[in-house]
Amino acid sequence: MEYTVQKLAQLAGVSTRTLRYYDEIGILKPARTNSSGYRIYGQQEVDRLQHILFYRELGVSLDQIKKLISAPAFDAADALKEHRGKLLEKRKKLDLLIANVEKTIASAEGRTTMSDKEKFEGFKKKMIEENEKKYGKEIREKYGDETVEKSNAKVMNMTQEEHEAIAQLAEKVNSTLAEAIQSGDPAGELAQKAADLHKQWITFYWSEYSKEAHAGLAEMYVSDERFKAYYDKIHPNAAEFLREAILMYTGLKGEY
């Protein structure tokens, strides 16, 4: 079975523009071009598109997908099993959110009662999922799976009051840091207050605190562009300033 761009787009539920773009970037080339100049796709291209769309559904970038499916070791059967596992995991999380919404509706209509823990369980699960997607690989490599799992468990057990306190504390860290930067002194009173507030903030997530882990996290704020961008929204030099303040706060200046 062969397909033109138009027919394959209809079959896969994507636009013809998407298929042409995939051709341009080399992630999905047509099997051939016919005498009229139309792109023609065969079974191999259909299967490849299926993998691309599976990966896209899981949030994988096109650059990464291209590397994955173009690798000599790529195995289509293994990839499908991996897709299935990831999709089942995603469905489980969506089912939890749907169940959470249904319980909330039932509670609002007076058909049942819902504890505060139940109300926020689905949202906390989603927050953990998003953090894993953004930073999971780096954090697990730096601190280990056990530490991350303990942190995730602590988040799941948070009360609504604790969740609100964390949000307020995060704002206080940022506002104090912004004020401290104006002094230009990471060892100053305001900068050290910001470092202490930051310690209080992370201990909501960590099962145990250590100066070394705190200093290591501060170093990551500078070395990892995603963390750096978060703090540099406060001030162009905020990530570096916070790192220096934390290193002085922990007494580990010169060791990182």
pLDDT digits (tens, 9 = 90+) for 100-148: 677 667 656 666 555 555 556 666 677 777 777 777 777 788 778 888 8
Confidence tier at 156 by pLDDT (50, 70, 90): confident
pLDDT digits (tens, 9 = 90+) for 212-225: 999 999 998 998 88
Is the predicted pLDDT of residue 54 greater than 80, yes or no? yes
Q: Name the residue with tokens 């201990």.
A: 203
Tell me the pTM. 0.49
Residue 210: what residue type?
A: S
Measured CA to CA, the distance from residue 244 to residue 256 in angstroms comes to 10
Q: How far is CA 146 from CA 52, 221, 238, in A?
A: 32, 22, 30
CB count in 10 Å sphere of residue 248 = 18
Nearest partner of 183 among 198, 193, 197, judged by Cα = 193
Is the predicted pLDDT of residue 252 greater than 70, yes or no? yes
Nearest partner of 184 among 235, 247, 137, 219, judged by Cα = 235
Residue 193: what residue type?
A: K
